[in-house]
Amino acid sequence: MNQRNVRNFCIIAHIDHGKSTLADRFIQRSKIVEERDFRDQLLDSMDIERERGITIKSQAVTLPVEFEDGLYLLNLVDTPGHVDFSYEVSRAISSCEGAVLLIDAAQGVEAQTLSNLYLAFDHDLHIIPVINKIDLPAADIDNCLHQINHDLGLDPDEAVLVSGKTGQGVEDLLRAIVEHIPAPAGEPEKPLQALVFDSHYDPYRGVIVHLRVFDGTLKPGDTIEMWSSGLQYEVEEIGRFKIALEKTGQLSAGDVGYLIAGIKTIRDVRVGDTVTRPDARCKTALPGFREVKPVVFSSIYPVDTNEYQGLVQAMDKLRLNDASLVFEKDNSAALGFGFRCGFLGMLHLEVIQERLEREFDLNLVLTAPSVEYEIELNDGTRLLVDSPMDYPDPGTIKLAMEPFIRASIITPDTYLGPMLSLCNDRRGIQKDMIYLDTSRVELVFEMPLAEVLFDFYDNLKSLSRGYASFDYELIDRRPVQLARLDILVNGKPVDALSMLVYRGNAERRARAACKQLRQEIPRHQFKVPIQGAIGGTVIARETIPALRKDVTAKCYGGDISRKRKLLEKQKEGKKRMKTVGNVELPQSAFLSVLKGSPEE
């Protein structure tokens, strides 16, 4: 294929603006899948993606499209829309020369639309604005064209109108991609220089590397070298993504494809690494990707300690496929060995948990999520603490600092009051309020990251009936009154349920956690007290009543002292049972505290 007839592009947009549906229409137009094998959201290959209706992993596919002037190869990367997976988007963008920026004809420009636009600008991509869902009765195309000009600073005359659902305008968009997005640069004769932008593990073939070739040519039988490690491998197979992997004779400058080289050790492949040839090395490595910074921390333990080795292997395989997952080994008095993990948000945490349970058949317990606090001790030592287990003695602490974010909320002005109340309740400081047009407002708040973790996004969507959008970035750390909240079950602290909280919210969080646990822990033969405590001070309590067996059922009439004697005997038995009884906590109890109470 002539390099001039290759186009590399991605589809970027806010959540639910129709990226995967539009990708389906492209796949149907290119006829790489038989009509009988076609299904909706074809590129969303994981069960969890199809169930939740979201894209989690960016997926690449090569589309051969015939026009009057010849055959073109379009390398498409479908990307996620949720803020938790923006790192996935940045990796997809690095392998492209252009981007299709989707805007929902009914919703208009939203917060994540803007942040994805800036990501594309950072990589100097050519951007084609596309108004999708023009078949909706609520579509307001004129307003969207105004927003493309006013909010995004793009030329509305270049905007293409499409419907991913009906296929209307898809041919015009494909033509615009060929005309406006430049062909990839690079020379096939130069030394090999290719970027690893993703990879996955095949139990039979080892690591399958996804790469974009910038210079040079790659063929089966070639010896390659990983720039960062210096390890060398012989290429067994190369090819393109056509839903399934399709072998080809070679990959040249500008191509996107895969490489199999018998790489058995998962840690040998690093996303962002440069692939070259040992006999003709490229002069410099490609810049790769910025180091990911996790914002939410939680520990993962197997329910059965015998499953620990399985968890170790599962985490290694997941990291290969999800470069934003950060973890280190950890242990707990109550739960044994596990991992302390860093995530990009609560949805990222939930997705990792579900993937571990489904793909690797593990039963897991997660600790309450936390952010990373900076603590200065009286002797001047500074610590970074993300786990309640590492929290020092309060008497030794001089100052605690928590991460702050700048949150951008775009909402119809009808819901302005509830949005302001929500942010103020979460210790937000209003910095700006910009009217984008007659009916939409952008609110800019600075607020603690810890206040956004649990149910902020759910509340935002419910209060605005789904119309408000939310995006954020970390800015700095600020002083906070911090406390370690311990949850005691039957008088014993459960370290997996301990959490670091803002002291002003401690009582509310403790009450909510105790209520949730009371509903989840089954009744025992004895009363089970559940308490929330800071240090030695109990600030919340719930009691699970004992299961009561009617020991007097066989007493018909007779002296009351007979019944009393039986009841006293039962009471003594329960007292003895309470001192030796062990309360079993089901997994659902940990998860209920993890997700927070709806009343919060």
Q: Which pair of tokens denotes residue 590?
A: 């940990």
Cα–Cα distances in angstroms (integers) from residue 169 to residues 40, 70, 118, in the given order: 19, 20, 26
Tell me how crowded residue 377 is: count the other CB atoms within 10 A of its CB: 14
Three-class SS state of 594:
helix
Closest CA to 440 of 418, 469, 462: 469
Residue with tokens 């287990």: 389
Whether 19 has a binding-site annotation, put simply, is yes
Whether 283 has a binding-site annotation, put simply, is no
- Looking at residue 252, its amino acid is S
Asked whether 296 and 346 are in contact (CB, 8 A), the reply is yes
Closest CA to 452 of 430, 485, 483, 474: 474
Closest CA to 260 of 341, 340, 202: 202
Checking 152-158 for CB contacts under 8 A at 24+ apart, the result is 152/101, 152/109, 152/113, 152/114, 152/117, 154/101, 154/127, 154/129, 155/129, 156/129, 158/128, 158/129
Whether 322 has a binding-site annotation, put simply, is no
Whether 132 has a binding-site annotation, put simply, is yes
Whether 21 has a binding-site annotation, put simply, is yes
Closest CA to 590 of 500, 501, 494: 494
Whether 133 has a binding-site annotation, put simply, is yes
Query: Which are the contacts of 477, defined by CB distance < 8 A and separation ≥ 6?
Result: 374, 401, 402, 403, 404
Distance between CA atoms of 399 and 373, rounded to whole angstroms?
Answer: 10
Helix (H) or strand (E) holding 23: helix 19-30
Quickly list H helices, 225-384.
308-321, 346-359
Whether 396 has a binding-site annotation, put simply, is no
Query: Which are the contacts of 527, defined by CB distance < 8 A and separation ≥ 6?
Result: 543, 544, 545, 546, 574, 578
Distance between CA atoms of 480 and 483, rounded to whole angstroms?
Answer: 10
Asked whether 371 and 297 are in contact (CB, 8 A), the reply is yes
Count the alpha carbons within 13 Å of 571 in the hemisphere toward its beta carbon.
6
Residue ranges for the known binding site are 16-21, 132-135
Residue ranges for the known binding site for GTP are 16-21, 132-135
